[in-house]
Structure 1
Amino acid sequence: MTTTSSVNSSTAALNNLTTGSGTVSDATAAQDRFLKLLVAQLNNQDPMNPMDNAQMTSQMAQINTVTGINKLNETMSSMVSQLLSTQILQSASMVGHNVLLPSNTLSVSKGVAAGAVDVGASADSVSVEIQTPGGQVLDTFNLGAKNAGRHEFTWDASAYQGQTVKIAVKASMGGKSVSATPMAVDTIQSVSNESGTLKLNLANGASVSYTDVAAIY
């Protein structure tokens, strides 16, 4: 009975370790329990029916592998945390700089709103419509024919009292619609860490991912 209990207990200890998702300290504690139970199993085994060497070797290999994986996971988590901290420190130097990113909201700064249109293919007409945040049309102008790519523009907002405007862009070739993406130039006011993701906080109140930035000025 003692041998059977030891076998079951050591197997359970190994299963807990291989299926768990705890820390390295948890894995070490489970490993210690497994080894103690394994020693007890060996001490109480039936001399006429000893424990299978292949089974014992397999269990030892499994516990060493899982312990190594747990340690690797903890090391990687620490490295990711350190990398994010380094990115935030480096990105702090971007505060005050302008960035270009996909957005239909432009900030008004010193009487000017700056943006861009990313045209998917050559177009013989590219138009920009300026709107209030509520959707009222303030102005419409045409950038003319443009090749595929990014094309910047500015809008004179000296007579506008608001802090932001919205834009709607259209592009066409021979009367057929061409894909066009509105883009905004905005100023980085601060950087932050949100759920492990580096975020840039802009003057227009938006918070965007660093990977969304198309250009930095």
Structure 2
Amino acid sequence: MSAISTDPYSSIGLSPPPKEESSRKGSLGQSDFLKLMTTQLMNQDPMAPMENGEFLGQMAQFSTVSGIQSLQASFEKLATALQTNRVLEASTMVGKKVLVEADRAELGSDGAGLKGVVEVPEGVSTVQLTLRDAQGAVARQLTLDVGGAGPMDFSWDGLLQDGTAAPAGSYTVSAMALVNGQNTQLTTRLALPVVSASIADDGVVLNTSKGSVRLADVTRIFT
């Protein structure tokens, strides 16, 4: 008479899985689950064996838990990668210029002048651009011919009204136009250098000396 094996794996033609250390005390791994499952099958009541549905249900529960754990680990890796990418984005923007809704900018001594955008409403044919120095004196006036409604680029070459170079410093930009017969001030956005960048919950925020803007809202970058 042949001896009956007490090893549940041998009795069903399987080799026992290699022993593994639990990463956390009291946690069950896949091998622990299979050992419990096969032990349950070996010791079930022959007159009332486990239904296939019960067996499959327990397997499905284990697969679901295992899948959720793997998904959580994947999300943690993705979150780390995204955070690293946001830090890199922020660091590469310092020193570049971006459009920020503002009416004041610093004119440097490099002769680069100032650039910006004015929002032109419907029915406007010309825009009067006035640049004033820190004392409020008019440095330059420019008349812009409008091609249609919407954002319109403008630039100041850094020259005064008499053609000489304007001194470096802070200048205010104002844009006026006749809208429905009334002289109206228009919204301007200026190209300002990014002095620092910070990371918020909703993305990278670029900080300039005159205001801040989210990287996701930047419409143009000047190198």
TM-score, structure 2 normalization: 0.55
Q: 1:105–1:74: structure 2 CA closer, same or farther, 3 Å change rule?
A: farther
Name the aligned partner's letter for residue 152 of structure 2.
R
* CA distance in structure 2 between the partners assigned to 1:59 and 1:105 by the alignment: 67
Deviation at 1:90, TM superposition (A): 5.1
Does the CA-based 8 Å contact 2:129-2:144 persist in structure 1?
no
Deviation at 1:97, TM superposition (A): 2.0
Asked whether 1:151 is paired with 2:157, we answer no
Partner of 1:86: 85
Residue 63 of structure 2 aligns to a residue whose secondary structure is helix
Aligned counterpart in structure 1 of residue 215 of structure 2, from 193, 210, 214: 210
* CA distance in structure 1 between the partners assigned to 2:87 and 2:171 by the alignment: 27
Q: 1:144–1:113: structure 2 CA closer, same or farther, 3 Å change rule?
A: closer
Q: 1:172–1:84: structure 2 CA closer, same or farther, 3 Å change rule?
A: farther
Asked whether 1:63 is paired with 2:62, we answer yes
Residue 123 of structure 1 aligns to a residue whose secondary structure is coil
Q: 1:61–1:106: structure 2 CA closer, same or farther, 3 Å change rule?
A: farther
Asked whether 1:107 is paired with 2:105, we answer yes
Partner of 2:52: 53
Counterparts of 1:68-217 in structure 2 under 5 Å? Answer: 68-89=67-88, 91-99=90-98, 101-110=99-108, 114-119=115-120, 123-127=124-128, 143-147=143-147, 148=149, 149-154=151-156, 165=172, 181-195=187-201, 197-204=203-210, 206-217=211-222
Superposition RMSD in Å: 4.7
Name the aligned partner's letter for residue 104 of structure 1.
A
TM-score, structure 1 normalization: 0.56
Name the aligned partner's letter for residue 209 of structure 1.
R
Name the aligned partner's letter for residue 216 of structure 1.
I
Deviation at 1:216, TM superposition (A): 1.8
* CA distance in structure 2 between the partners assigned to 1:121 and 1:38 by the alignment: 76
Q: Show structure 1 runs of 5+ residues with no match.
A: 1-24
* CA distance in structure 2 between the partners assigned to 1:120 and 1:67 by the alignment: 59
Residue 50 of structure 2 aligns to a residue whose secondary structure is coil
Does the CA-based 8 Å contact 1:87-1:198 persist in structure 2?
yes
Kindly, what percent of the aligned residue pairs are identical? Answer: 25
Deviation at 1:78, TM superposition (A): 1.9
* CA distance in structure 2 between the partners assigned to 1:194 and 1:54 by the alignment: 49
* CA distance in structure 2 between the partners assigned to 1:77 and 1:138 by the alignment: 57
* CA distance in structure 1 between the partners assigned to 2:55 and 2:40 by the alignment: 11
Q: Show structure 2 runs of 5+ residues with no match.
A: 1-22, 161-165
Name the aligned partner's letter for residue 152 of structure 1.
F
Does the CA-based 8 Å contact 1:118-1:151 persist in structure 2?
no
Name the aligned partner's letter for residue 216 of structure 2.
T
* CA distance in structure 2 between the partners assigned to 1:186 and 1:113 by the alignment: 9
